[in-house]
Structure 1
Amino acid sequence: MQSDVGEPGRSRGIYVTEDVRSYVLQRKRDFRVSTSCSGPILLPVSVKPPKATDLQVPIGDFTVYISKYQARYIDSIHRGMIPIFYEDF
């Protein structure tokens, strides 16, 4: 896992792109990467609450939770995981 300051976390590296980091900081809330029909998706925790088994990636004062199922397959959290209908929120 990779924190927002570039320091390694406790498990393998999952990089957060700068545009996703900005997205999280602008919206001032926690997010979760979970499973959808079309692959991993980044949703606010108000829509998809975190689970105790999720990995946690700090971004400023906020956290991106990653489903343990998605964590096996992703090496980065990128803009393509943000649903189009959430871009303007």
Structure 2
Amino acid sequence: MYLPPVIHEDLIDSVETQGYVPGHIESVMRFGPKSRWRAGAIVDSATERSQAVATRCALLIPRRGRRTRKLALHPALPADVIKSMLQAL
């Protein structure tokens, strides 16, 4: 059985995501009614405009608040594993 790693608050909006400009949308995520996230997307960066270290991020829209949060992702990590880690539907 695969147990996904725990997503800590320290990993969200980390140093790697500063200056990140989203480009191509890879996958869209939905979350359940009890999740802290309303929706999200897995995106690749715009290579010409992005100044961040991260080349792939999960953009997360919280239920409360207006600011989109960013989670840096490994480029080789499959979208299904990311959705499992974030408990997306």
User: Is the radius of gyration larger for structure 1 or structure 2?
Assistant: 2
Of Structure 1 and Structure 2, the greater helix share is in 1
TM-score by length of 2: 0.29
TM-score by length of 1: 0.29
